[in-house]
């Protein structure tokens, strides 16, 4: 029987080739993973720019429809895409791609005309509309927007929800506290209706007719006596005046999470006990 032998010199090159063969997939694997992350980042950016983006509600200006502690998804495409649709408000060209006007009654997210922070309000007036208020009732194009008394709104008290000056605190049998607000159902001419709160006569409850300029919109909060909106001149951290439609960011669509603010990060079970389960999934 012939036995073939190999010297160490003969073996070394084949071992080196094997080592290179083992290293090649590793290098290829890392490259593929990095490329996957780049594509994933691009997909997420495109989704947030064109489709949906998450927003949180930090105030009570839209109570009872939206409450402090609500987290919602907002649709980016209904009004067109602009620099304000992009994360971090990147300094791109002004204007919008495929622009579209909002509808009366839409709940819109927009950039404040002065400080460029995100605000959320309901659209009441569009370009050419005449908007006034008489005794707390909206007058649109010379006609009073119908407003009927509705069932009182009861809001449980929590770290995220206090009781404003127009509410009445009540103690429940289980020891919890709620705030009772007088509410009204307001109905626009196209049939869209929504609940608003009115605490009584305030300075902003009556004003003479104003015409909404071209390219802008007149917005109001549903919590009428706790909202700095188009009834007030635009000022940083305050009223918004007539809002240019080019500052539109998105249309509020659905509440995906809501918390009363009582959760503690180190106590995971409180994440669930703090959830307002009855609000999650509400379309807007």
Does the annotation count 61 as an active-site position? yes
* Backbone dihedral angles phi then psi of residue 182, each to the nearest 5 degrees: -75, 135
Task: Give all strands (DSSP E) within the chain, no chain letters.
Answer: 52-56, 70-75, 81-82, 96-97, 107-111, 118-125, 130-134, 137-140, 143-144, 147-156, 168-171, 177-187, 193-197, 207-211, 216-220, 243-244, 248-258
Tallying the residues shown for the chain, one arrives at 284
Q: Which of 200, 22, 240, 274 is nearest to 120 (CA)?
A: 240
- To the query of whether residue 111 is one of the catalytic residues in this protein, the response is no
Catalytic residue among 61, 82, 158, 258: 61
CA dist 86 to 90, 97, 112, 215, 249, Å? Answer: 6, 12, 16, 21, 9
Q: Which of 53, 76, 111, 121 is catalytic?
A: 121
CA distance 280 to 255: 5
d(CA 217, CA 213): 8
Whole-number Cα distances in Å, 201 to 36, 133, 155, 206: 59, 12, 22, 9
List active site positions. Answer: 61, 121
């Amino acid at each position: 029987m012939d036995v073939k032998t190999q010297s160490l010199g003969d073996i070394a090159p084949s071992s080196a080739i094997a080592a290179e063969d083992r290293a090649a997939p590793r290098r290829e694997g890392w490259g593929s993973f990095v490329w996957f992350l780049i594509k994933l980042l691009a997909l997420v950016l495109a989704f947030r720019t064109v489709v949906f983006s998450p927003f949180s509600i930090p105030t009570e200006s839209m109570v009872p429809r939206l409450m402090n502690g609500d987290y919602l998804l907002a649709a980016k495409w209904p009004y067109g895409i602009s620099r304000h649709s992009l994360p971090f408000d990147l300094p791109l060209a002004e204007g919008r791609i495929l622009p579209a006007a909002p509808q009366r009654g839409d709940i819109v997210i927009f950039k404040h005309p002065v400080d460029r922070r995100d605000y959320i309000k309901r659209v009441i007036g569009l370009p050419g509309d005449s908007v006034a208020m008489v005794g707390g009732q909206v007058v649109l194009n010379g006609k009073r927007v119908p407003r009927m008394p509705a069932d009182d709104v009861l809001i449980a008290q929590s770290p995220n929800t206090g009781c404003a000056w127009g509410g009445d605190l009540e103690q429940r049998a289980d020891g919890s506290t709620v705030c009772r607000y007088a509410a009204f159902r307001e109905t626009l001419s196209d049939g869209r209706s929504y609940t608003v709160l009115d605490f009584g006569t305030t300075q902003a409850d009556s004003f003479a007719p104003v015409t909404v300029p071209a390219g802008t919109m007149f917005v109001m909060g549903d919590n009428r006596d706790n909202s700095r909106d188009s009834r007030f001149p635009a000022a940083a951290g305050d009223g918004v005046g007539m809002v240019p439609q080019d500052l539109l960011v998105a249309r509020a669509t659905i509440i995906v999470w809501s918390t009363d603010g009582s959760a503690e990060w180190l106590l995971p079970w409180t994440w669930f006990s703090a959830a307002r389960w009855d609000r999650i999934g509400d379309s807007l």
